[in-house]
């Protein structure tokens, strides 16, 4: 089983990904992993990464996540209310 040494960076595409440095491996072996999966398997590393972010970086990430959520909501068709 691979162990997360630390989280190095993040990127937001369709989902939020975190760049992982694996224990015992170098930068050439870093991989992008889904944040939601790492919250389960490596919560301490994820929490540490977010704590290290500057306030401006945190605010920018929150802004990007809100925009992504709004985009996703716009893609979901709204249900029509049933008439009685």
> CATH number for the domain including 42?
2.40.50.40
Burial of 4 from C-beta contacts in 10 A (0-12 / 13-18 / 19+): buried
Residue 17's SS3 state is strand
Q: How many domains does the chain have?
A: 1
Does this model's pTM top 0.85? My answer is no
Residue 13 lies in a domain: yes
The total of other beta-carbon atoms located within 10 Å of residue 69's CB is 10
The per-residue pLDDT string of the chain (84 residues; one tens digit each, 9 = 90 and over) reads 789 999 999 999 889 999 999 999 999 999 999 999 999 999 999 999 999 999 998 898 889 889 888 887 777 777 766 666
- Structural domain including 24 reads 4-75
């Amino acid at each position: 089983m691979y162990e997360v040494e630390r989280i190095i960076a993040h990127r937001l595409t369709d989902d939020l990904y975190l760049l992982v440095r694996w224990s015992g491996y170098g930068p050439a072996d870093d991989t992008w992993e889904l944040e939601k999966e790492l919250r389960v398997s490596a919560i301490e590393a994820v929490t540490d990464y977010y704590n290290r972010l500057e306030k401006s970086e945190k605010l920018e990430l929150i802004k990007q996540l809100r925009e992504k959520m709004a985009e996703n909501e716009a893609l979901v068709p709204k249900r029509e209310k049933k008439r009685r």
